[in-house]
Amino acid sequence: MQLSRLNQRTFLSLLKAAAAAAASASVSSRRLPSLHAVYIKLGFLAHTRVTNGFIQGYCATRRVTDARRVFDEMPRQDTVSFNSMIHGYAVSGDVASACRLFEQVPAPTPVTWTSMVAGLCRAGDVGSARRVFEKMPERDLVSWNAMISGHVGNRQPVEALCLFGRMMEEGFTPNRGTVVSALSACASAGALETGKWVHVFVEKNRLRWDEFLGTALVDMYAKCGAVELALEVFTGLRARNTCTWNAMINGLAMNGYSAMALDMFRQMELDGRVVPDEVTFVGVLLACSHGGSVDAGREHFNMISNKYGIGLILEHYACMVDLLARSGHLQEAHKLITEMPMKPDVVIWRALLGGCRLHKNVKMAEIVITEMEATCSGDHVLLSNLYAAVGRWNGVEDVRRTMRSKGIEKIPGCSSVEMDGSIHEFISGDKSHPSYDDIHAKLIEIGGRMQQQGHVTETTEVFYDIEDEEKEQALGHHSEKLAIAFGLIGGPPDATIRIVKNIRFCMDCHKFAKLVSKIYQREIVVRDRARFHHFRGGTCSCNDFW
């Protein structure tokens, strides 16, 4: 029986509707096999377009086995068939099957190659995705975008920016998708100068500043510590959605501008055109936490459900526990955790543990470590630092033994700094950087000038029970100190030194940055795991409350 053009279109429309419904409701996924049975009964097996629709429908409902059965029964598969099946395998996480099928494609098109790249990135196998990308006989803009966004989505911003630069060198012009990925990479890596270049590119090419592109730019400037530029972009946007307001509120909060963040939230309420969501209140509570505003934090925490009817999420509790714990209300913070309607995660326990360290409450810290079943090195190091701070070296040794028995290794500190359009990364104790000799000489010079200022190295948080002189040597090679020294020797004498680090600032490095900003009259901006620190003239925006 021949399927008329009209019937084929009708069938495709029905199939598309069924697949879309199946993706959103489990009951609808049962309709697809029934529709497929009718299709087979009517003898429509030879119609590739319709069969491809069934493959896509089954893949959309995670019935990859059924999709593969349809694929294998096809008299002839085309490029769409292979692409759909490969896509169905990245989505389901079956990377091995996707790779095997990819090798069977007779003549892969750029679309097929790109599907493979995107699928591997989605599955978290960026290394394999990059190898496939490099083997492509020809690439289009979509291919570049897939690989760049894959690096960004898998927390490899430096690799994304390197690939972005290479794409430009090979003559490809970025589109909106490229720009959003590049701005996200700049935000993650703290690559302000590259982000500024992207901003200029958008202006010159007259790309439309809608809510999405505008939000990406606000977020980039805020996460690079350039709050003034973020505010300038935010103020100039004609269209703002909730995400735009959230980016600005969260940006102000993480940079330590707590009062401005709360004022921005009030402006959002007065504006009336957008409604706060759960992410908005994460930023609001973060602002209260970083500002130590306990009463304001309690007020806004209660406002979430009472005024706006928004369900409380783990992040709201984490911010509130962090605020209470760091302000010394450890019992109240612990009570809040025990009364949560959901199971607390390690982030919440870690917030309470941080407060225990700050207020030297060893007993509660030991309880927290037990209750959270800590598997991250940072949590154990926090407890170890607390033991070291109160001189309980037996406790330090116990933590080290526990870490060894559980196979937990201490995560090395890593700091990155942008210089002349390139990202330079430093790892604590590492001497492999090409400029290490100059960096080491600069650190010696800084140390001498600090001694003249009466600086005493803060050794209370050093992990081991060793002599003070050895502790000072260990602290002297922390990654942020290496990055700061490099910033002093490698850039213009008045340029702001901007650093992104992977773990929390230690007390000695914080004092170090404050003194460097005073002695050398340089602004230093550091983004650690929790927040920003803006150092100017010997003071920090966090007011030593972090």
204-241 pLDDT tens trace: 998 888 889 999 999 999 999 999 999 999 999 988 99
In this prediction the pTM is: 0.81
The Cα–Cα gap between 333 and 464 comes to 30
Least confident of 80-84, 149-153, 160-164, 454-458: 454-458
Segments of 120-226 assigned E as strands: none
Contact by Cβ (8 Å): 89, 101: yes
Token reading at 461 = 């948080």
- What are the domain boundaries of the chain? 415-540
Q: Which residues lie closer than 8 Å to 135 by C-beta, 6 or more apart? A: none
**pLDDT number for residue 5:** 52
**pLDDT number for residue 11:** 62
Q: Could you tell me which of 144, 541, 77 has the C-alpha nearest to residue 68?
A: 77
- The secondary structure of residue 501, as a DSSP letter, is E
Residue 504, helix vs strand vs coil: coil
Question: Model confidence over 375-385: pLDDT tens digits?
Answer: 566 677 777 87
Question: Model confidence over 417-469: pLDDT tens digits?
Answer: 988 878 899 998 888 999 999 999 999 999 999 988 887 766 555 544 444 44
Token reading at 199 = 């901003």
pLDDT above 80 (res 360): yes
Element (H, E) at 230: helix 227-236
The DSSP code sequence of 12-63 is HHHHHHHHHHHHH-GGGGGHHHHHHHHHHHTT-TT-HHHHHHHHHHHHHTT-
The Cα–Cα gap between 420 and 47 comes to 57
Which percentage of the chain shows pLDDT scores above 90? 52
**pLDDT number for residue 48:** 78
Measured CA to CA in angstroms, residue 19 lies from 57, 354, 401, 433 at distances of 5, 48, 55, 54
Which position has the higher pLDDT, 47 or 242?
242
Segments of 158-205 assigned E as strands: none
